[in-house]
Amino acid sequence: MSPNANTTPVRAMLVLGTRPEAIKLAPVVRAMAASPHFEPLVVSTGQHREMLQQMLELLQVEAKFELDVMRERQELSKLTARLVEGLGEVVHAERPDLVVVQGDTTSALTGALAAFYEHVPVAHVEAGLRTGVLDNPFPEELNRRLIGRIARWHFAPTPRAAGHLTAEGVPEAEVFVTGNTVIDNLLWVLEQGAGRDHFESNGRRRVLVTLHRRENQGDKMRAMGKALRRLADRGDVELVLPLHKSPAVREALLPELSGHTAIRIVEPLDYVDFSATLAGCDLVLTDSGGIQEEAPTLGKPALVLRTTTERPEAVEAGAAQLVGTEPHVILDAAMRLLDDDDAYRRMARAGNPFGDGHATARILAQLAEDFGVDADPVPAPAPLAVPQPEGPESYSTA
């Protein structure tokens, strides 16, 4: 140990409330809990309470604080107000050395705000993602931009994301390219050998579908449901759709997809089952953000059912295709990959631009250095390359 090293553990409050936040912060929590230099304090805001409880146990994450803020069909403004108040009370009482937030959810934004109001520095995991369109995705694009004005540590998953931040005026000394912690966690889960693949077919092509985004709900999602039914009509595919709990999602998709023998609608899968199902599929159709990062690691081509993406690296690498929300375009793109072996292989072999599984180690090493504690041995951080971001046309089908 260095003679000038701080021997007091760094108390880090980690805020999570949704399934993606839990997945991407779990490796950080586990690493902090295993280190003598950190004391993790996990706060669950409870937005995805039913999905979270069992998953946190599986991921070896223990929430010290749980908030009760959810109400049925709650307006976003009321949720935001409740979260700022509840998280502010925890920060005020615990006085952590820093608050860690992940991504672009309402819990991430309100966690950053609550810390700012209490003069506690913020570390932002998965910083710098941008679509260039303020309300798409809604409200995530605004959330991450606002967190970018608050945070002290910006842990960017890729050089492009780092470039967005420096272009917005964030000092280069506060931006760190780490890779994405979702890769760390996916590799950890698969190494455990846990989880059950929910596909049942033998010989049919396996298509995993996830749909939930606010901007896709309503008529757009109903139309996408019709396209999925036509895809299932091929007769040589099996679709598995873990159905989101949102009433708006269920109202849009169930009338279109129920009763088809080639479509398996299941309740939301826990993370280990979802990882096993992702590993077992041939093709992914999704409007999720995180799956765009996970699928390339496993060599699964992903069709992104959105008009914008804050993860253009996957598209540029050839591992994902941004197809938009028009039913005929979605259907044509899926048919092509199922029928054209060369096109499929090109996407499957594109590789993953989002990391090597060591993002967590890089994050902890930087925090340990800045708080003056001796870090455990870690891989050398990736070099900070900060190209100027391209225009919004790179992220949009428009």
Question: Annotated catalytic sites, by residue?
Answer: 104, 126, 140, 212, 214, 244
CA separation for the pair 244, 226 (Å, rounded)? 18
DSSP 8-state code for residue 282: S
Helix (H, G, I), strand (E, B) or coil at 333: helix
- Separation between Cα atoms, residue 285 and residue 178, nearest integer Å: 27
Residues 98-135 as b/e (b if ≥16 CB within 10 A, e otherwise) read: bbbbbbbbbbbbbbbbbbbebebebbbbbbbbbbbbee
The rounded radius of gyration (Å) of the Cα atoms in the chain is 21
- For residue 56, how many C-alpha atoms fall within 13 Å in the half-sphere facing its CB? 22
Write out the E strands in 317-361: 320-322
SS3 state of residue 98: strand
As a whole number of angstroms, the distance between CA 96 and CA 371 comes to 13
The answer to whether 189 touches 272, Cβ cutoff 8 Å, is yes
Distance CA 151, CA 132 (A): 20
Q: Cα separation of 380 and 233, whole Å?
A: 50
48 vs 100: CA distance, rounded Å: 19
Provide the token pair at 323: 């197809």
The residue count for the chain? 398
For residue 358, which of 385, 374, 383, 380 has the smallest C-alpha distance?
380
CA-wise closest residue to 38 among 377, 378, 380, 364: 364
Determine the 3-state secondary structure of 187 from DSSP.
Answer: helix
Secondary structure of residue 166 in the 3-state scheme: helix
Taking Cα atoms as reference points, which of 201, 194, 265, 188 lies closest to residue 234?
201
